Structure 1
Amino acid sequence: MKLQLLSDLHQETESFAPEPAPDAELLVLAGDIDSTWKAFDAFRGWPVPIIFVAGNHEFDGRELNDAWPALRARCESLGITMLERETCVRSGADGRRIRFAGTVRWCDFDLFGEAQRDKSMRAGSYFMKVQRSTLNGEVFAAPQVRDEALACRAWLADTLAAPDDADATVVITHFGPSLRSADPRYGSQAGTASFCNADDDLLPGADLWIHGHVHCRHDYTVAHAGGTTRVVCNARGHTKRGESAGYDALRVIAV
Structure 2
Amino acid sequence: MRIQLLSDLHLETEAFAAQPAPEAEVLVLAGDIDATWAGLSQFADWPVPVLMVAGNHEFDGRDIAEAWRDLRARCESLNIRLLEQEALVLQGDDGRRVRFLGTVRWSDFDLFGAAQRERAMRAAGYFMRVQRSTIDGGQPFDAAAVRVAGLACRQWLEQALQTPAGADWDATVVVTHFAPSIKSADVRFGKQPGTASFCNADDDLVVRADLWLHGHLHCRHDYAIDRAGQRPARVVCQARGLAHKNEHLGHDPMRVLTA
TM-score normalized by the length of structure 1: 0.99
- Report the residue type matching 1:13 in the other structure: T
1:49-80 deviation line (CA, Å, top 9, x unaligned): 01000000000000011000110010011111
Q: Give 1:47-66 correspondences, 5 Å limit.
A: 47-66=47-66
With over 3 angstroms needed to count, the CA separation of the structure-2 counterparts of 1:51 and 1:183, relative to structure 1, is same
- 1:71-220 aligned at under 5 Å gives the runs 71-136=71-136, 137-164=138-165, 165-220=168-223
Q: CA deviation at 1:208?
A: 0.1
Cα distance in 1 between the residues matched to 2:77 and 2:132: 26
**The residue matched to 1:219 in structure 2 has which SS?**
strand
Give the aligned residue type for 2:19: E
3-state SS of 1:116 partner: helix
Deviation at 1:162, TM superposition (A): 2.6
How far, CA to CA, are the matches of 2:251 and 2:181 in structure 1?
22
- Which secondary structure does the structure 2 equivalent of 1:72 belong to? helix
Counterpart residue number, 1:243: 247
Give 3-state SS (helix, strand or coil) of 1:153's partner.
helix
In structure 1, distance between residues paired with 2:190 and 2:30 = 22
Match of 1:229 in 2: 233
2:144 maps to amino acid: P
SS of equivalent residue, structure 2 residue 188: coil
C-alpha contact (below 8 Å) 1:119/1:190 kept by paired residues: yes
2 CA distance for matches of 1:135 and 1:92? 39
Report the CA distance between 1:246 and its aligned residue: 1.8
Q: Distance in 2 between matches of 1:203 and 1:4?
A: 20
The superposition leaves residues 72-120 of structure 1 with CA deviations (integer Å, 9 ceiling, x where unpaired) of 0100111111100000000000010000000000000000111110110
Amino acid corresponding to residue 116 of structure 1 in structure 2: Q
Q: Identity over aligned residues, as a percent? A: 62
1:21 deviates by 0.4
Given that residues 179 and 197 in structure 1 are in contact (C-alpha distance below 8 angstroms), is that contact kept between their aligned partners in structure 2? yes
Calculate the aligned-residue CA RMSD, in Å: 0.8
CA drift at 1:204: 1.6
Q: How far apart, in 2, do the equivalents of 1:121 and 1:198 lie?
A: 15
| Paired residue secondary structure (1:161) | coil
**Cα deviation code 1:27-46 (max 9, x no counterpart):** 00000000000000000110
Find the partner of 2:256 among 233, 252, 255. 252
Deviation at 1:225, TM superposition (A): 1.7
Q: Aligned partners of 2:125 and 2:150: how far apart in 1?
A: 15
| Contact 1:204–1:226 under 8 Å retained in 2 | no
Tell me, in whole angstroms, the C-alpha distance in 2 between the residues paired with 1:254 and 1:246: 20
1:80 and 1:226, CA in 2 relative to 1: closer, same or farther beyond 3 A?
Answer: farther
Dislocated runs of 4+, deviation >6 Å: none
Residue 7 (structure 1) aligned with residue 11 (structure 2): no
Partner-residue secondary structure (3-state), 1:205:
coil
